[in-house]
């Protein structure tokens, strides 16, 4: 059964018939629609909608992109990502501010035959093991190939929820090699203690400060046997990622991504207190991961470890979690957005 939200003519940003590629609202809206295109592409596949019945193409063709390649999971053959090529309807291959290629990843589909595989990917995120999956291997190979062929200066990464996690991991992987891709990360998962649900600001601040000092202390204690300078290692690792400046789009009513709000605020407060080193150690080594390491299990790098970012918060109250977490909010024309740039130094 076709949902109204799958139909671009019913729920897409029809007002963007003339995109200004220097306008941040326009760029955000287009990136969100390209991610939606991946969702609908997989829904078209599941419902066997082809040719004129397919609903996905208008989500990218409206903005003069063409589908360059589908990214398919090798386990269940579901479509989890797409590579789009920008093809303006006039001479010239590139407009100032526009991407030449955009690589987009969808999030979890709660219905249909992709659900179980998507759920498996969600579990890997919780365990910091997404980098070990064949789906991510397909994704990062696609990113590397696109960059190697076309350069990195005008390639976008975009993703929503699970797809945002995929884009974060791909972006961080490339950043560690000195390649910094423009990224639009919608409702990216932040998996840590659900502190944002606490209403009292002083209580939240106290819990965060205590957690940071505990995590930093455990890090030093557990790794002292390695006889190396943990502080310098932490600084070097963050510095390697610091030049990557992704855009994170979050809603405070979405408990999956709202942790980023407190994460960056707390980091700023710890710097002001003169405890920035403590927080950087704690960020890289959350308590849960340290306990896994103590049991001899590799917890992997925390997905949310982002030294620099442009955090964009949608302050319009949501009716429910579904609305707060939905991709659809990000192409609405009258959003009330608050943007804060966090630049690691």
Q: What pLDDT, on a 0 to 100 scale, did the predictor assign at position 208?
A: 53
Beta bridge partners, 162, equal none
Category of 97 on φ-ψ map: left (φ > 0), alpha (ψ -120 to 50) or beta: left
Category of 300 on φ-ψ map: left (φ > 0), alpha (ψ -120 to 50) or beta: left
Q: What pLDDT, on a 0 to 100 scale, did the predictor assign at position 293?
A: 47
Please state the separation of Cα 101 from the chain's center in Å.
Answer: 18
CB < 8 Å & 24+ apart, contacts of 263-270: 263/190, 263/192, 263/304, 264/309, 264/311, 264/340, 264/342, 266/205, 266/208, 266/209, 266/212, 267/342, 268/342, 269/205, 270/209, 270/212
Q: Longest C-alpha distance within the chain, in Å? A: 65
Domain boundaries defined on the chain: 4-186
Q: What pLDDT, on a 0 to 100 scale, did the predictor assign at position 153?
A: 86
Q: What pLDDT, on a 0 to 100 scale, did the predictor assign at position 295?
A: 46
In 3D space, the residue among 185, 168, 181, 205 whose CA is nearest the CA of residue 254 turns out to be 185
Q: What pLDDT, on a 0 to 100 scale, did the predictor assign at position 210?
A: 52
**Which ranges of the chain have pLDDT less than 50?**
207, 212-213, 215-222, 226, 230-233, 278, 287-296
Per the document, the length of the chain is 345
């Amino acid at each position: 059964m076709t949902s109204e939200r799958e139909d671009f003519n019913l729920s897409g940003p029809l007002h963007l018939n003339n995109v200004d590629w220097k306008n941040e609202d326009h760029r955000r809206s287009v990136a969100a629609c390209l991610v939606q295109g991946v969702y609908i592409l997989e829904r078209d596949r599941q419902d066997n909608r082809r040719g004129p019945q397919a609903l996905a193409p208008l989500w990218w063709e409206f903005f003069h992109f063409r589908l360059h390649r589908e990214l398919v999971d090798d386990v269940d053959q579901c479509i989890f990502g797409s590579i789009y090529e920008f093809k303006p309807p006039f001479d010239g291959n590139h407009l100032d501010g526009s991407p030449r290629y955009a690589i987009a990843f969808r999030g979890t589909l709660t219905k249909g035959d992709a659900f179980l595989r998507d759920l498996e990917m969600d579990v890997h995120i919780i365990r910091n093991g997404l980098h070990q999956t064949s789906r991510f291997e397909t994704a990062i190979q696609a990113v590397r190939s696109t960059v190697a062929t076309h350069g990195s200066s005008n390639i976008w990464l975009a993703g929503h929820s699970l797809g945002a996690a995929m884009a974060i991991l791909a972006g961080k992987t490339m950043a560690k090699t000195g390649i910094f891709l423009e990224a639009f990360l919608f409702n990216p998962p932040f998996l840590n203690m659900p502190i944002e649900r606490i209403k009292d600001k002083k209580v939240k601040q106290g819990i965060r400060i205590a957690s940071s000092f505990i995590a930093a202390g455990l890090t030093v204690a557990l790794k002292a046997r390695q006889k190396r300078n943990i502080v310098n290692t932490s600084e070097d690792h963050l510095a390697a990622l610091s030049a990557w400046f992704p855009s994170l789009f979050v809603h405070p009513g979405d408990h999956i991504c709202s942790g980023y709000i407190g994460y960056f605020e707390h980091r700023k407060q710890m710097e002001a207190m003169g405890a920035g080193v403590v927080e950087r150690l704690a960020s890289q080594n959350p308590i849960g991961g340290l306990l896994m390491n103590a049991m001899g299990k590799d917890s992997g790098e925390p997905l949310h470890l982002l030294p620099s970012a442009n955090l964009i918060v949608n302050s319009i109250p949501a009716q429910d979690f579904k609305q707060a977490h939905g991709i659809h909010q990000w192409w609405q024309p009258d959003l009330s957005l608050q943007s804060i740039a966090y630049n690691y130094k």
